[in-house]
Structure 1
Amino acid sequence: MFIFGKYLSILLKAQMQYRVSFLLLSFGQFFVPFSVFAGLYFLFEQFGQIKGWSFYEVGLCFAIIHMAFAISECFGRGFDSFSQLVASGDFDRLLVRPRSTVLQVLGSKFEFTRIGRLLQSLTVLIIVLVHIEIDWTIAKVITMMLMVVSGVFIFVGIFILAATLCFWTIQAIEVANIFTDGGREIAQYPLDIYKKWVTRFFTFVIPFATTNYIPLNYLLGKTDSSDLFYVFIPLAGILFILPCLLIWHYGVKHYRSTGS
């Protein structure tokens, strides 16, 4: 963790060398996602509700998944741009260092400008919480925090899986965006509005349901089960990182240098 902190410090200082550029990029990251939220607003302005979900209830789902995506893009960007390390042959240098390749790839790139997207999501979260009546308990507060953490781990896990493919394809393949950007777009709505196969896929394969749909029902008082069950549901999303890391280590063992 000390080394990870050093990575953070060094890359933050590097990006802050161009402060105007950093502020403008952060400013853009704040306002660009508002166009997506505006589309959500106009959708509900036209139809009123979607399968019993109100605008502010879906807004809560939207805010949580976008917060998770912003954090994962900030800290997991090294895996998202991993193909550059493979194509240039720079990954070979990481292999001879006496530290985990996961740590080194994570520390190779941070996108601190994503703080703008995070602030936008927090703004949406505050707006929707003001308009939703939730009977808050300690269990519900913990659940909502774990929902964000769960989303972060799922997105980073997808970044890791996409990066692992680069050991065989060298360049990043666009199909991975189906599960990163596409996963974010799907998960910003409650999963029960989709076809059953889509809901099942994003519950049992890529467990976005543990980030939004299942615990969201609990926060809104739409369930009757034990509080502890829903508090621990987001942990399934956090555990998603484990098979992703196993696949990553399998890819590392079978890596052959590009010869750059």
Structure 2
Amino acid sequence: MRLYFKYLSILFRSQMQYRASFWLLTCGQFFSPFVMFAGVYFMFERFGQLRGWSFYEVALCFAVIQMAFSLSECFARGFDAFSGLVAGGDFDRLLVRPRSTALQVLGSKFEFTRFGRLLQSIIVLVWALTNLPVAWNAAKAVTLVMMVASGVLIFTGIYMLAATLCFWTIQGLEVANIFTDGGREMAQYPLNIYQKWVTVFFTFIIPFGCANYLPLLYILDKADGHEVMYMLAPFAGALFLLPCLLVWQIGVRHYRSTGS
């Protein structure tokens, strides 16, 4: 972790060398998600509710997944830009260093301008929570934090799987955006508004539902059955990351240098 924070410090200082550009990009990231949130707002202005969900309940769902996405984009950007390391042969340098390749790739790039998007999500989160009659306790507060952390791990795992494909395809594949950008758009609404196969896929295969929808039912007192199961659902994010790391190790073993 000391090495990871060293990467963090170096890249932050390098990006702050162009402070005007940094703050302009951060402001752009702050305002751009408002377009998506405006779509949610106007939909509820027109229809009032969505399959029994109120505006502020969906706003909470929206804020959690947007926070997870922005944190993942900030701290796991190295995997998203991994194709450049493979195409240029720079991944060879990482292989001869006595540290994990996953850690080195993770620390190769950070997008601190995504804090603008994170700030917007926090504002929406606070707005939603102040307008929801939630009976808060320590368990619900911890569950909310775990929801965000789980979402970060899931997005990071998807980035890692997309990066692993680069060992065979060299260039990154845009199909991965179906599960990153598409997953973000889908998970910002409760899963029960979709068809059953969508709910099953995004609960048991890519567990966005475990990071957002199921624990949200517990927080809003809508859970049926054992509440502990809904509280523990965010741990699926960590379980999802484990096979992603395994696939990454398989990809590393099959890597062939570009020879440049």
TM-score (norm 1): 0.98
SS at match of 1:133: coil
Amino acid at match of 2:164: T
Counterpart CA distance in 1 for 2:176 and 2:242 is 19
Q: Please, which runs of 5 or more residues in structure 1 have no aligned partner?
A: none
The more displaced of 231-240 and 137-146 is: 231-240
Counterpart CA distance in 1 for 2:223 and 2:47 is 25
- 1:1-260 correspondence to structure 2 within 5 Å: 1-260=1-260
- Contact 1:215/1:233 (<8 A) preserved: yes
Q: What CA deviation, in whole Å up to 9, does each residue of 1:1-47 have, x standing for no partner?
A: 11001000000000001111111110000000000000110111111
Deviation at 1:211, TM superposition (A): 1.1
SS at match of 2:225: coil
Amino acid at match of 2:27: F
Deviation at 1:224, TM superposition (A): 4.4
Deviation at 1:231, TM superposition (A): 2.3
Counterpart CA distance in 2 for 1:228 and 1:111 is 36
Report % sequence identity. 68
- Root mean square deviation, CA, Å: 0.8
Amino acid at match of 2:39: G
Amino acid at match of 1:19: R
- Contact 2:217/2:230 (<8 A) preserved: no
- Contact 2:211/2:236 (<8 A) preserved: no
The more displaced of 22-31 and 222-231 is: 222-231
The more displaced of 147-156 and 40-49 is: 40-49
Counterpart CA distance in 1 for 2:224 and 2:183 is 28
Runs (4+) off by over 2 Å: 224-231
- Contact 1:143/1:230 (<8 A) preserved: no
Counterpart CA distance in 1 for 2:235 and 2:68 is 14
Q: What CA deviation, in whole Å up to 9, does each residue of 1:187-211 have, x standing for no partner?
A: 0000110111111000000000111
SS at match of 1:206: coil
Deviation at 1:99, TM superposition (A): 0.5
- Contact 1:139/1:227 (<8 A) preserved: no
Deviation at 1:225, TM superposition (A): 3.5
Counterpart CA distance in 2 for 1:83 and 1:224 is 44
- Contact 2:75/2:106 (<8 A) preserved: yes
Q: What CA deviation, in whole Å up to 9, does each residue of 1:142-200 have, x standing for no partner?
A: 00000000000000000000000000000011101000000000000001101111110
Counterpart CA distance in 1 for 2:2 and 2:156 is 20
Counterpart CA distance in 1 for 2:246 and 2:49 is 42
Counterpart CA distance in 1 for 2:213 and 2:227 is 15
- Contact 1:154/1:207 (<8 A) preserved: yes
Counterpart CA distance in 1 for 2:80 and 2:18 is 23
Q: What CA deviation, in whole Å up to 9, does each residue of 1:104-163 have, x standing for no partner?
A: 000100000000000000000011111111011111000000000000000000000000
- Contact 1:75/1:106 (<8 A) preserved: yes
Amino acid at match of 1:169: T
